[in-house]
Structure 1
Amino acid sequence: MNKLSGKTALVTGSSRGIGRATAIGLAREGALVAVHYAHNEQAAQETVELIEKDGGRAFRLGAELGVPGDIDQLFSGLEAGLREHTGKTTLDILVNNACETSATGTAPEDVSVEEFDRFFAVNAKAPFFIIQRALGLIPDGGRVINISSGLTRVANPSHTVYTMTKGAIEQLSRTFARHLAPRGITVNTVIPGITDNGNPVFKIPEAREQMSQLSAFKRIGEPEEVADVIVFLATDEARWITGAQLDASGGSLLG
């Protein structure tokens, strides 16, 4: 416990699912967590309250990603929150989790320019510029953790654009890992499989059964199981890991 005491963290898209579980996990280890949301302020507040009920510290932070001025809005709120709670603007841990996704996907021939641009703006462009902006706040020895997807390991035509953006995230991690190594900042990717994020599809028994068969454990992953991997990468125990892609998919598609 308290492996992250005195540390600060930003988790984008932490109002639900893996992001919420990650924020709770980081706070449980002692970090002050900025809980980011795009639209659902109430859900983000629920995350903050869950953290505080558990004895942790957190504050919510609203900013829609993928739109003009998004990075300025995000960091204006982040720096104000950090300064209010710590008197400084130091950010020790950055988790790029927020993303644009679709439960059903779109056939390649039906993808519009607007949909393509939206996915890349949120899933690839925003994480790049968030890291770029955060470098002025992250001290030597800091942590950057980017969330990809198990879909980068298979060919799923209905999720072509989404998968392209996640492939970009994996390369982003590798190049920044090399670039930031002289400062002792680690940059890694976590690759979840099918994880119950509260989407209504997970309440359909037939759908759950079908999705469960993709894991070697024959079940759907829980957000906390992925979050535990992310939290590990944020600790000092993971100081010798950088540029890595950690599979947290429950052995999906092993055969």
Structure 2
Amino acid sequence: MIVKEDGVAMGVLVLGGSRGIGRAIAVGLTEPGSTILVNYLGPDEEAQETQRLVQEKGGRAVLLRGNIASPEGAAEIAKLVSAEVDKLDTVVHCAVKTVSGPLLDADPEAFRQAVDVNAMSFLYAVQAVRPLLGAGSSVVYLSSRGARIALKDYASVGAPKAMAEAFVRYLAVELAAIGARANVVSPTAQDTAAFRDIFPNDYEQRLAEAARRSPSGRAVGLDDIVEVVRFLASPGAAMLQGQTIVLDGASTLAG
């Protein structure tokens, strides 16, 4: 990751970066001297642990507590980000809100909140940090298999993620004009708090099944996700635009 370019202070912004996949990406993209901006809404203790891990690797972690699920909230976070860096090298959206249960039984207000966090916040955040994006900037949205197929009790996450994947395609075309790019990374199931919230009774079996079905002989891990995000932020991905990278070890190909 670029720390400075022609005297311009660069940064990495992870939305929903205090735990799970977000934390793994925040820590995984840390290099000595880099600035990692961690947006979160959960417990401060989780964010502070992410900060500690970033600092252990020689990075500077800036914690940005705030709700990006509204234009106003995203604008406030963007203001804090702009006070820390001149340009964003990478923006990764990992924020998630779960409402488990069948779609037909979903509480309208709770489901709307899930859509705001899981999809709309991505758009709001990219709009808000637009002045900090430029040539070489990479925007990444973390999606999942549930955006493309109907998983039981997963509609509050899967449907908004499908919406956000569509946002990425449109944003990719618009960001290309300034040399920035937008893509999706869609890994198989991970042992995260959100996954456990949706599948509290059988998450272990689901994770084991995902590993068993992989022709590659193992489950996709957090390190695999980090490496794909790292690639998307590299010059080698300069012409990769609006794509969904399915990170599954060929599981979906094997049926």
Same fold (TM over 0.5): yes
Asked if 1:101 is matched to 2:98, the reply is yes
1:4 and 2:7 aligned: no
Structure 1 residue 113 corresponds to structure 2 residue 105: no
CA shift for structure 1 position 116: 1.5
Question: Which residue of 26, 46, 49 maps to 1:46?
Answer: 49
Count of paired positions:
245
Could you report, residue by residue, the CA deviation over 1:67-97 in whole angstroms, capped at 9, with x for unpaired residues? Answer: 57321332233223x1xxxxx5322221111
Superposed CA deviations along residues 30-49 of structure 1, whole A, max 9, x for unmatched, are 63110111122111111111
Specify every segment of 5 or more residues in structure 1 that has no aligned partner in the other structure, as ranges.
83-87
Give the distance between the partners of 1:145 and 1:206, measured in 2 at CA. Answer: 29
Offset of 1:250 from its aligned partner? 2.8
> Is 1:194–2:189 an aligned residue pair?
yes
Q: For residues 117 and 132 of structure 1, what CA distance do their matches in structure 2 show?
A: 20
Please state whether the residue corresponding to 2:123 is helix, strand or coil: helix
Residue 139 (structure 2) aligns with:
144
Distance 1:131 1:178 in 2: 14
Corresponding residue to 2:16 among 13, 18, 33: 13
User: What does residue range 17-32 of structure 1 map to in structure 2 within 5 Å?
Assistant: 17-28=20-31, 31-32=34-35
Q: Does 1:135 align with 2:130?
A: yes
3-state SS, counterpart of residue 190 of structure 1: strand
**2:151 corresponds to 1:156:** yes
* Alpha-carbon spacing, 1:206–1:194, altered in 2? closer, same or farther (3 Å): closer
Matched, 1:169 2:164: yes
Structure 1 residues 41 and 77: CA distance shift in structure 2, 3 A: farther
Gaps of 5+ in 2: 5-9
Q: Is residue 175–residue 181 contact of structure 2 (8 Å, CA) maintained in 1?
A: yes
Residue in 2 that maps onto 1:216:
215
Q: TM-score normalized by structure 1?
A: 0.86
CA shift, 1:213, in A, is 3.1
Partner of 1:92: 89
Q: Supply the RMSD in Å over aligned alpha carbons.
A: 2.4
| Superposition TM-score, scaled by structure 2 size | 0.86
User: Equivalent residue for 2:58?
Assistant: 55
- Structure 2 SS opposite 1:177: helix
The whole-number CA distance in structure 2 between the counterparts of 1:150 and 1:137 is 31
Q: Between 154-163 and 12-21, report the one with greater CA deviation.
A: 154-163
Equivalent position of 1:33 in the other structure = 36
CA offset digits 1:162-210 (Å, max 9, x no partner): 2110111111111111111121111111111111225666997545433
1:85 counterpart residue number? none
Amino acid at match of 1:115: A
